[in-house]
Structure 1
Amino acid sequence: MSGLWVLDLSNNSLRETFNATFIIRKQLVVIKFDKNKLEGKVPQSLINCKYLEVLDLGNNELNDTFPKWLRALPNLMILRLRSNKFFGPIKDSSTYKFARIQMIDLSSNGFSGDLPMSLFENFENGEKSGTREYVADMYNSSYTNSFIVTTKGLELELPRVLTTNIIIDFTRNRFEGHIPSIIGDLVGLHALNLSQNHLEGHIPASLICT
């Protein structure tokens, strides 16, 4: 792959209001716009980014419902929308399904309603190559992904993310209802954080029993 494939503008004070006319290069594989002052909604031009594997829009001021159409991206592995102003329920969808999702971080938003069963099914049905590659390594070993995950109240940096790991962080939202038992059956589940929500009921045996 030639040309620009990594666009990392993270950790700045960039101001932009995303709207329907905002166009993003369709050949991008990695997009990191985290820790800026971006507003508006997730740009729908991303639907044309068929090679996109990493999308990090965390720590901005985006105000939107969950962009379910992102599930149609065939190669998306990492999605981080943490610390924005997203709101509302995440509805199950039979039309849009993540094919290769490995990490999803929706923490510190205003998502509500039941935990989205279809998202967990996407993890279960995701293609696993069986090889322990690092995300984006197949393109250029000089670029290294690093991501923050929250565990035990602490934010820890993962310097690299394996394509065989599953990481789910839904902490600090308004999710309610029961924890789906399917979560504990996910092969490769490396980290799960559902803290600081309004969940009730029993802890699925699949999470605590071996």
Structure 2
Amino acid sequence: MHFGLMNETQLIDINLNNNQLTGQISNSLFNLKNLEFLDLSENYLKGIVEFDEFVMLKYLTFWDISGKELLLLTKETNANATRQDFIGLGFSSCNLSKFSNFLRNQHELKYLNLSNNKIHGQVPEWMWNTSTTNLEILDLSNNFLIGFGQHSVFLPWISLEFLDLSSNLIQGSLPIPPVFTLFFHISNNPLTRNIPELFCNLSSLRVLDSANNNLSGSLPRCLDNFGVVLSVLDLRRNKFQGSIPESWIKGGNLVLINLRENKCQGHLPRSLAKCTMLKALDLRDNQFIDIFPFWFGHLSNFEVLILRSNKFNGPVWTPQTYLKFPNMRIFDISYNDFMGKLPLRLFENWKIRKFEKVHPFTYNHENSYFVIQKGSHMWIFLTLILTL
């Protein structure tokens, strides 16, 4: 990547993210003495990047060089030598092996992305004094972190809205983010124990994804405190037991509930029918005992119902029931104890989509799953990954 910007000394903002730029970062970049914002992320740049060279750009407050083949080199002496207060730093996939020492003196950070590196061990003690009042977005996913040392319960960044700790080696209890956190992603860790009752205070939470852990105990009754805010609840592949609390759901914005592969039991609360935005409910491989949930039939956004491998029983239709399910796409009730006829009217109400006429839609339960994807700063709430 070459810059023909040698004489553009007044340039203050360069945003080239999400392109297909290749090669090394040109040294001519460091002639832009007034540069304040630089985003080169999500390209195909490669080579060695010296932190000290960027520090020479004394007005630079945001820089993101996240990539797949870059190597960021920092020096331990930078902790005291760096006097710049950065607002945003993005070093995803920069082959870092530890928390860079220069972060010690950063008190104005709003955005910090250290994901997809090779950082091992505990989050260092001094990180608890880094931008505690300003940090809004923190992504430490896809590293080899094992925990937070003695700071294992309450995280210190009081303004944090987005927190991603997924795909690490974090052990022990589920850490508790600040009360105003909106998106909390901590899947794919060996976490144990139950969800602490202190989670009840997270009344702003929109996404809770703690899939693929070893969390146990009963489902927390306090989730009704989330009210109309929560959109995604993904607790799949844990060891939760007991029933879904009847008081759990107030309705609102819930789009996805995934409790797949737990040890949940009992009946489905009829209050789930208040979730008018619900698109997908996956309860496969649990121990629920109930009749067919006719009460979901009126939900106009409902697309996915998976009850596979439980203990549901009785008829799927009776003369007194009215089945609608107008937008159903996946309907899996296999490996239960249902009986009687499967009514044709259940399928007559389903809308035929134009794309399905070209690519017939099929479902393979072994290879289909839900993924909560994230963009650079925000979440796409629901993506269905299916075998076609």
Over the residues paired in the alignment, what is the CA RMSD in angstroms? 3.1
Residue type matched to 2:192 in 1? E
Q: Which residue of 2 aligns with 1:171?
A: 166
Say if 2:82 and 2:105, in contact at 8 Å, map to a contact too.
Answer: no
1:112-148 CA distance string (max 9 Å, x none): 2347738954313x5xxxxxxxxxxxxxxxxxxxxxx
Instruction: Find the partner of 1:117 among 151, 156, 163.
Output: 151
Q: Which residue of 1 aligns with 2:179?
A: 187
Q: Tell me by how many angstroms 1:15 deviates.
A: 2.1
Say if 2:67 and 2:94, in contact at 8 Å, map to a contact too.
Answer: no
Q: Which residue of 2 aligns with 1:204?
A: 196
> Is 1:6 paired with 2:40?
no
Q: Which residue of 2 aligns with 1:146?
A: none
Instruction: Find the partner of 2:98 among 45, 55, 65.
Output: 65
| Cα distance in 2, alignment partners of residues 68 and 205 from structure 1 | 35
DSSP 3-state at the match of 1:62: coil
Cα distance change on mapping 1:74 and 1:93 into 2, 3 Å: closer
Name structure 1 gaps, 5 residues minimum: 127-164
Name the % identity: 23
Q: Tell me by how many angstroms 1:71 deviates.
A: 4.2
Q: Which residue of 2 aligns with 1:37?
A: 69
Instruction: Find the partner of 1:89 among 122, 132, 144.
Output: 122
Cα distance change on mapping 1:121 and 1:174 into 2, 3 Å: closer
Q: Which residue of 2 aligns with 1:133?
A: none
DSSP 3-state at the match of 1:171: coil
| Cα distance in 2, alignment partners of residues 119 and 98 from structure 1 | 18
Residue type matched to 2:36 in 1? W
| Cα distance in 2, alignment partners of residues 41 and 118 from structure 1 | 30
Aligned residues: 167
1:142-195 CA distance string (max 9 Å, x none): xxxxxxxxxxxxxxxxxxxxxxx6111000011111123x42xx2321001111
Q: Tell me by how many angstroms 1:78 deviates.
A: 0.6
Q: Tell me by how many angstroms 1:85 deviates.
A: 1.8
Report which stretch shifted further, 90-99 or 192-201. 90-99
Cα distance change on mapping 1:12 and 1:20 into 2, 3 Å: closer
Larger RCO, structure (CA 8 Å, separation 6 or more): 1
Give the structure-1-normalised TM-score: 0.66
Q: Tell me by how many angstroms 1:4 deviates.
A: 0.8
| Cα distance in 1, alignment partners of residues 149 and 190 from structure 2 | 11
Say if 1:179 and 1:199, in contact at 8 Å, map to a contact too.
Answer: yes
Cα distance change on mapping 1:49 and 1:68 into 2, 3 Å: same
1:58-105 CA distance string (max 9 Å, x none): 1x2413112354142121111001112222221323884323111100
Say if 1:115 and 1:177, in contact at 8 Å, map to a contact too.
Answer: no
| Cα distance in 1, alignment partners of residues 84 and 51 from structure 2 | 19
Say if 2:39 and 2:63, in contact at 8 Å, map to a contact too.
Answer: yes
Q: Tell me by how many angstroms 1:35 deviates.
A: 2.1
Q: Tell me by how many angstroms 1:36 deviates.
A: 4.0
DSSP 3-state at the match of 2:182: strand
| Cα distance in 2, alignment partners of residues 84 and 66 from structure 1 | 10
Which structure has the bigger radius of gyration? 2
| Cα distance in 1, alignment partners of residues 124 and 147 from structure 2 | 9
1:18-51 CA distance string (max 9 Å, x none): 4575543232121010124112545665862633
| Cα distance in 2, alignment partners of residues 94 and 36 from structure 1 | 25
Give the structure-2-normalised TM-score: 0.38
